[in-house]
Structure 1
Amino acid sequence: MFVSYKWLKDYVDLNGITAEELAEKITRSGIEVEAVEVLNEGISGVVIGHVLEKEQHPDADKLNKCQVDIGQGEPVQIICGAPNVDKGQKVAVASVGAVLPGNFKIKRAKLRGEESNGMICSLQELGIEGKLVPKEFAEGIFVFPDDVKPGENALDLLNLDDQVLELGLTPNRSDALSMIGVAYEVAALLDREVILPETSYETGSDRASDYVNVTIEAKDANPHYLAAVVRNVKIAPSPLWMQTRLMAAGIRPHNNVVDITNFVLLEYGQPLHAFDYDRFGSKEVVVRMAKQGEKFVTLDEKERVLKEDQLVITNGTEPVALAGVMGGADSEVKNDTVNILLESAYFDGQTVRRASKDHGLRSEASARFEKGVAPERIEAAAQRAIQLMVQYAGGEACEGFAEVKLHSPEPKVISISQEKINSVLGMDISVQDITVILGKLGFEVQAEGAELSVTVPTRRGDITLEEDIIEEVARIYGYDNIPSTLPLFRSNPGRLSDYQANRRKVRAYMEGAGLLQAITYSLTSKEKALQYALKETELTHLSLPMSEERSVLRQSLLPHLLEVLKHNLSRQMNQAAVYETGSVFLTKGRDEQPLEKEHLAGAITGLWEEHSWQGEKKALDFFVIKGILDGLFEKLGATEKVEYKQAKRDGLHPGRTAEIYLNGQLAGITGQLHPTVQKDLDLPETYVFELMLEDLFSAEAEEIRYSVIPRFPSITRDIALVVNKEVPAGEILNVIKETGGKLLSEAAIFDLYEGERMEDGKKSVAFSLIYLDPERTLTDEEVTKTHEKVLEAVSGQFGAVLRG
């Protein structure tokens, strides 16, 4: 809900309190003010100008040379490219020295050789969203009414000297979806009176019941329907002050009649609808449930196929509106409309919500009906709209209403004691103070001693229990006035469990390695749920998903992390590295809760390191991400229990992917994204990993073992073995270590060659072997004997040949 600070002053005296202070008080009372927008922030020097002359620019077809009176004596020449600029118009002019949004400063300039001393502005150029600008001015400049004077402050006339409070309302606070509803809240907080608008107007001799008759067939869905008739209206733009208030609230102005219904909707929270009486089709208004398959065209020019559980307004034969959601195109108010049939009604919220959801139509009206409107305002809102139509559309109001009122919700009466309120709040608030607080909110209170009987106005449908009354007292009394006390009990100091400590260790390590933590949705789409899953089970579906994109529980963290990378790179970042610790969900059975397992996943893309000064760049490759994982396994004491095995997985590069095994069991994957996936996501070379954290934490950490620094020299032998390309180098290394026995202290791969002079299908892998006995100096014969065993083993198992 957008609340205009200036508009709110019509209903509550706000003298002595700024918009920021008011926002603070409202937030403290339980309704969060998410932002306070200053509409004219960064804008200055914009005045009203009167276009005295307009002629074609001599050297440009789409430019006009205008002489404009801006209230400074002599007219100024301004070059304007707006297609709708014309002689005689009153327009917004940013004079020389003015500042527009984005710190755009207006200076004297020459356009195609002609001097320009300012700029004639559109509303968009003054910071108003294009979707809120009246359609006739959407492609050009805004034209003011003739009664404005050159030199006046255009920002003030456009209500841009206002501040708008954005309220983050919870679903239960539908009473604050109106200016008067917010006024009650603010008046209670400031201890001031609510000033309700006057709704008096003159009526003609005709009665509304002479022009229209109301019949309600769907009694449960529509217990109250009121129809009024206003004759001889003149369709024109609404007053500028009304247009600007609608735009500040996020509604585009249309014409005086439609704008009045929207204005009253925002003022009272009661949706209204104006029909063209002469296009309505009959004198009968019949409210009924739609027939299955029945069709009609809504205001957005789309044909709607109705269902039998949807409520419609008809002319006795055909639907003319989808009740509470949108009117029909056939009875729309147009420029030639003369007579108005005005609807004000109470529609069942669930019925409206069902129709709104089925047709994908979400409107200001449907939002209010869904959450609940105040039944007592149905007539008051209609009277207010009629008053404004008489005043600003020249209408003649017919006397009375054509109305059917089957029943009306009775005010809720709640009994509560002073003792109950104070025991819950831990305070000592007097009966008198409680009565005053509830009275400020418009509640009627009758007190008998310490017992109170509270009558809740029907506009506050969220108040149904004793606890609700207690909350209202606490809100207005002030949460910050509730005394704080320490709990009286003995406590033992807490500590992290081993699992929590390990998780914290993992997060600290990942951030130390240069990865940023991400938090993504547990809900995903059917297509993404099984991508990169380490263990696949049936999907866990939500019964009532908000959308298909969030309809099942995930079985891998990687798909959403890849979306994070794409999001960051699309915003001109050349490198991104993220990780997440989160749950995946594995189905155990049809009627059982899914098994929740915590995983660790990471994704890195772009350059790994770049030092511009040294001119050094390090590209990301498989061994960068493997090094990060090796460091993690070492941190957790699991290095000796982990083994990498070459693998092929959907969505990953077939030659740069490995499965990670812990004690012989699959515990994770790592590798490069498949090139086609990278292309689809518009990512450069990207590497990922995902591990089962619970399995990793459950592995017993290795004991730290110390060894004596050797006193005897070691002997190093380097060998280059030629093997088939398909032979994994890691398997060769494992055989070398096993065969080398106690004398082989270290073995490592230091080179891979697949270039010229190498037979097709072959590769050369170079190993460095270090032989050492910590107790004595080895002889050449001992080393040679062990070394030859190593060569025989790799030759026998892999067909390896020493490279010549």
Structure 2
Amino acid sequence: MKVSYQWLKEYLDIDVAPRDLAEKIARTSVDINDVYSLSDGLKKIVVGEVETCEPHPDSDHLHVCQVNVGEDEPIQIVCGAPNVAAGEKVIVALHGARIGDNVKIKRGKIRGVQSNGMLCALQELGFSDKIAPKDYDEGIYLLPDDAKPGDSVFPYLGMDDTIIDTDVTPNRGDMLSIYGNVNDIAAFYGLKPHFKELAIKKEGDEKTADLVKTTVNDEKISPTYKLRIIKGVKIADSPLWMQIKLWNSGIRPVNNVVDVTNYILLKYGQPLHSYDYDKLPGHQFGVRHANKDEKFTTLDGDEQTLIENDIVVTADDQPIALAGTMGGEGTAVADDTTTVALEAAIFDPIMVRKQARRLDLHSESSMRFERGINPATVETALNEAAELISELAGGEITQGIVTASEKPAQDKQITLSLSKVNHVLGTNLKMAEVTDIFKRLAFPATVSEDDQIVVTVPARRWDIFVAADLYEEIARIYGYDNLPATLPVMTRNHGGLTARQKFIRASRHDMEGMGLDQAISYSLTTVEKAKQFQIDPVDEPMKLDFPMSSDHVATRMSIISGLLIDVAYNVARNVNDVALYEEGRVFLPKGGERPEEQEHLAAAITGHLLANSWHLDDQPVDFFQVKGIVERYLHNLGIAGEIAYVADDQRPEMHPGRTADILIDGQLVGFVGQVHPTVAKDYKIPETYVFELNLEDLIAADKVANEYHPISKYPAITRDIALLVDKNVTNADVLAVIKKRGGAFLKNIHLFDVYSGLHLPKGKKSLAYTLTYQDVHNTLTEDQVNKAFDKVTNALVDDLGAEIR
């Protein structure tokens, strides 16, 4: 909330510099976004009076004005505003002035006529279009008649005020009003606020109950709902003092009725809504749930399609406002309005928040309804608004208030123990100090003989429920800096990671050790992307009821899609060699209310393995490189089961000829392969290889115990073998046969050549292997190696039909 320092001083005798006050608020109540004045950076901007205004000789829209700026002689200024005229008081930027956006004003000629300054609109002083009055959109701003030529314009426009822009947390909705800020500031400075309430001075003879009726069938959605009627109003601009308060608070002045409702909103934190009584479809007010697919046009001219969880204010059961959010286009107060129906209410904060978020209609009113309304000031605010409208618009207030529901303003009583207060805060406060703090907060407190304090918390502090809330109040008013600083008590327990944490950390170290960079992507994505790249496919993801954007509507069931978005981001910025991994959770609906959460590890690699080397050519990443990363990772984990890679052409997002499922003892734990070219095109990425593993299965898998294997001092013997086999025989098939028949001394099998071409029979390929034999206890003999090698050769011929070359 933008808090006016001058407005605060109307209710507090405070003598603290605005920036010091802002720092105190930040250290005691809520955060501060900024402290500023609308005049910051501006200079040499004064009041001027247009003495004469003549048409420019060479222009059909420019005027040559003689302007009194408080000097001996008027200055000549050329101006193109359509509303400039003799006798008007205007804003003048003199020669050498600085206006908005740090623009400097200089003397010059405009179409041959000397101009010694500039007549300004509010926007040219830095006012945004959102707060500058619409009446002056096409011209300059006109100052009041009592403005004195030559004076600085800043006091006339409230630009000499200091604005403290607070960042109010959801629990401190009371700080979204001048009333709440005054009470809080008074407490931590020990001041007595003199808050002014304006009561109704006179009511007419006609009864409000004869003009409107109102009922609320479900008081949960509207615990309080009240109406007043003001007849015979005349719509005009509100007085400048009110406009200044509004635009200094970031709200655009509209007219004397709407401005009053916004002024009361800022003063009390109580949103009000004004209706043109004569434009209502009927005069039986109500609050109800919206009908499914019910249409309603809001003040901004947009047609909204409502759902059953929305709430609407109705007249004769026809919607006239989205409760707590925005009024309707057809019943808004306009220039021809003569009778105003004024509404003050409390609406269900959760329903208002969901409605405003779903329709993207956040407003000053909805922000306050979401955070809570003080039930003690609903009627006070309604009466003050009615009186102000009567005074400013000349209307007559009808007799009485029509009430459909009313939530009583109940104070809460909480019992504290002084010893517990000191124990929790680590202080040594005396009873008098604690009671003084509650006195400053205006919380009545009574003390019993046995160390107990009974505190009465007024309804205006609806965020306080239990003793712990009062401990916080004591701490912040006493001063957080005054609390003693003590070291935490140390325990004798040794800290450490759980086995699961160690496993996950080791996984990250392995990925980084193999050259991959960690990425963190969103857990929420689109439904389409959530269904892609699943290890064990599930039909539908878990969806959010109220997503914040269309790109984040479902929980992810795979990590790969998020990594591909990261790859696309890098590639779009000419980073073509990308190797990313992510360890995180996926969410799989399994029929319960909550999805099953699993830890997964995934990676995405594109580009070259070795880039810009002076002695080696760049090599594009391929399936075998990524499969090698997976193999090394599983080896480092010490997986005891049999690991197999089985070709799979059934994954629609993966290349059917370059994808393999990863199995441990026949159980699917992941997959590795190339992203299908059409999917890669959708993501706008080049050829990319990925893998994803279910860490839950890997954590649960049997592991090889740590063993020490001494390096053998005896020499190794190698044998090379080349095979001619059918093309459908895989390397895995050959390795399985060799390992089965290789014997106890076979230590390593290395595939060093693959060939298929014109010099081989059709449907055949050549595979060449090096077999390494070694005995850790003795020197192998030639006969031992030959015997073992012959068994391998015969098994390859018998089992695979291989021809030894």
Alignment length (residue pairs) = 781
Matches within 5 A, 1:297-312: 297-301=297-301
Q: Distance in 2 between matches of 1:783 and 1:67?
A: 111
The answer on whether the counterparts of 2:208 and 2:402 sit within 8 Å (CA) in structure 1 is no
Matches within 5 A, 1:36-115: 36=34
CA shift for structure 1 position 227: 0.8
CA shift for structure 1 position 37: 6.7
Q: Which amino acid aligns with 2:34?
A: V
Q: Distance in 1 between matches of 2:344 and 2:519?
A: 49
Which of 562, 573, 582 is the matching residue for 1:580? 582
CA displacement, residues 410-430 of structure 1 (integer Å, 9 cap, x when unaligned): 323334443443344443322
CA displacement, residues 360-410 of structure 1 (integer Å, 9 cap, x when unaligned): 75543244335431122224323543565467x553454765444865333
The answer on whether the counterparts of 2:443 and 2:456 sit within 8 Å (CA) in structure 1 is yes
2:676: which partner in 1? 674
CA displacement, residues 432-457 of structure 1 (integer Å, 9 cap, x when unaligned): 22222122223222334444333222
2:500: which partner in 1? 499
The answer on whether the counterparts of 1:264 and 1:381 sit within 8 Å (CA) in structure 2 is yes
Q: Distance in 2 between matches of 1:532 and 1:446?
A: 66
Q: Which amino acid aligns with 2:627?
A: K
CA shift for structure 1 position 332: 0.9
Instruction: Using the aligned pairs only, state the percent identity.
Output: 35
Q: Distance in 2 between matches of 1:477 and 1:53?
A: 66
CA displacement, residues 102-158 of structure 1 (integer Å, 9 cap, x when unaligned): x99999999999999999999889877766666678xx7774334587995789958
Matches within 5 A, 1:234-383: 234-236=235-237, 239=240, 246=246, 251-280=251-280, 284=283, 286-287=285-286, 289=288, 297-301=297-301, 320-347=320-347, 349=349, 362-383=362-383
The answer on whether the counterparts of 2:234 and 2:394 sit within 8 Å (CA) in structure 1 is yes
CA shift for structure 1 position 181: 1.4
The answer on whether the counterparts of 1:47 and 1:70 sit within 8 Å (CA) in structure 2 is no
The answer on whether the counterparts of 2:65 and 2:76 sit within 8 Å (CA) in structure 1 is yes
Q: Distance in 2 between matches of 1:614 and 1:244?
A: 73
Say whether 1:145 aligns with 2:147. Answer: no
Bigger CA drift: 46-55 or 216-225?
46-55
Q: Distance in 1 between matches of 2:467 and 2:541?
A: 39
Q: Distance in 1 between matches of 2:734 and 2:57?
A: 84
1:473: which partner in 2? 474
Matches within 5 A, 1:105-184: 143-147=140-144, 159=159, 162=162, 164-170=164-170, 172-184=171-183
Matches within 5 A, 1:432-511: 432-449=432-449, 450-483=451-484, 491-511=492-512
Q: Distance in 1 between matches of 2:143 and 2:512?
A: 64
1:395: which partner in 2? 394
CA shift for structure 1 position 497: 2.7
Gaps of 5+ in 1: none
Q: Distance in 2 between matches of 1:613 and 1:67?
A: 75
Say whether 1:700 aligns with 2:699. Answer: no
The answer on whether the counterparts of 2:233 and 2:396 sit within 8 Å (CA) in structure 1 is no
Q: Distance in 2 between matches of 1:262 and 1:552?
A: 39
CA shift for structure 1 position 307: 8.8
1:229: which partner in 2? 230
The answer on whether the counterparts of 1:212 and 1:402 sit within 8 Å (CA) in structure 2 is no
Q: CA 1:105/1:87 → structure 2, altered by over 3 Å: closer, same or farther? A: closer
Q: CA 1:257/1:292 → structure 2, altered by over 3 Å: closer, same or farther? A: same
Q: CA 1:583/1:735 → structure 2, altered by over 3 Å: closer, same or farther? A: same
2:207: which partner in 1? 209
CA shift for structure 1 position 267: 2.4
The answer on whether the counterparts of 2:726 and 2:763 sit within 8 Å (CA) in structure 1 is yes
CA shift for structure 1 position 269: 0.8
Q: Distance in 2 between matches of 1:70 and 1:291?
A: 59
Bigger CA drift: 471-480 or 118-127?
118-127
1:192: which partner in 2? 191
Q: Distance in 1 between matches of 2:108 and 2:765?
A: 72
Say which SS state the counterpart of residue 343 (structure 2) adopts. strand
Matches within 5 A, 1:509-658: 509-520=510-521, 527-536=528-537, 554-566=556-568, 577-585=579-587, 590=592, 595-605=596-606, 619-638=620-639, 642-648=643-649, 649-658=651-660
Q: Distance in 1 between matches of 2:801 and 2:96?
A: 86
RMSD: 5.5
Q: CA 1:164/1:485 → structure 2, altered by over 3 Å: closer, same or farther? A: closer
TM-score, length of structure 2 as denominator length: 0.76
Say which SS state the counterpart of residue 680 (structure 2) adopts. helix
Q: Distance in 1 between matches of 2:684 and 2:96?
A: 46
Q: Distance in 2 between matches of 1:187 and 1:571?
A: 54
TM-score, length of structure 1 as denominator length: 0.77
Q: CA 1:656/1:35 → structure 2, altered by over 3 Å: closer, same or farther? A: farther
CA shift for structure 1 position 531: 3.0
Q: Which amino acid aligns with 2:702?
A: A
CA shift for structure 1 position 169: 1.4
Say which SS state the counterpart of residue 169 (structure 1) adopts. coil
The answer on whether the counterparts of 1:133 and 1:247 sit within 8 Å (CA) in structure 2 is yes
Say which SS state the counterpart of residue 261 (structure 2) adopts. helix
The answer on whether the counterparts of 2:75 and 2:116 sit within 8 Å (CA) in structure 1 is no
Q: Which amino acid aligns with 2:659?
A: T
Say which SS state the counterpart of residue 414 (structure 1) adopts. strand
CA shift for structure 1 position 601: 2.1
The answer on whether the counterparts of 1:92 and 1:122 sit within 8 Å (CA) in structure 2 is no
CA shift for structure 1 position 599: 1.9
Say which SS state the counterpart of residue 207 (structure 2) adopts. helix
CA shift for structure 1 position 674: 1.9
The answer on whether the counterparts of 1:234 and 1:395 sit within 8 Å (CA) in structure 2 is no
Q: Distance in 2 between matches of 1:622 and 1:777?
A: 38
CA shift for structure 1 position 333: 1.2
Q: Which amino acid aligns with 1:266?
A: L
Bigger CA drift: 247-256 or 106-115?
106-115
Q: CA 1:693/1:48 → structure 2, altered by over 3 Å: closer, same or farther? A: farther
CA displacement, residues 740-772 of structure 1 (integer Å, 9 cap, x when unaligned): 6678665434566678x5889868666452656
The answer on whether the counterparts of 1:207 and 1:398 sit within 8 Å (CA) in structure 2 is no
Say which SS state the counterpart of residue 233 (structure 1) adopts. coil
Q: CA 1:292/1:769 → structure 2, altered by over 3 Å: closer, same or farther? A: closer
Bigger CA drift: 355-364 or 487-496?
355-364
CA shift for structure 1 position 668: 1.9
Q: Which amino acid aligns with 1:462?
A: D
Q: CA 1:430/1:518 → structure 2, altered by over 3 Å: closer, same or farther? A: farther
Say which SS state the counterpart of residue 165 (structure 2) adopts. strand
Bigger CA drift: 575-584 or 42-51?
42-51
CA shift for structure 1 position 67: 9.3
Q: Distance in 2 between matches of 1:573 and 1:645?
A: 33
CA shift for structure 1 position 212: 6.1
Which of 659, 662, 669 is the matching residue for 2:661? 659
Gaps of 5+ in 2: none
CA shift for structure 1 position 40: 7.2
Q: Distance in 1 between matches of 2:608 and 2:94?
A: 47
Q: Which amino acid aligns with 1:684?
A: P
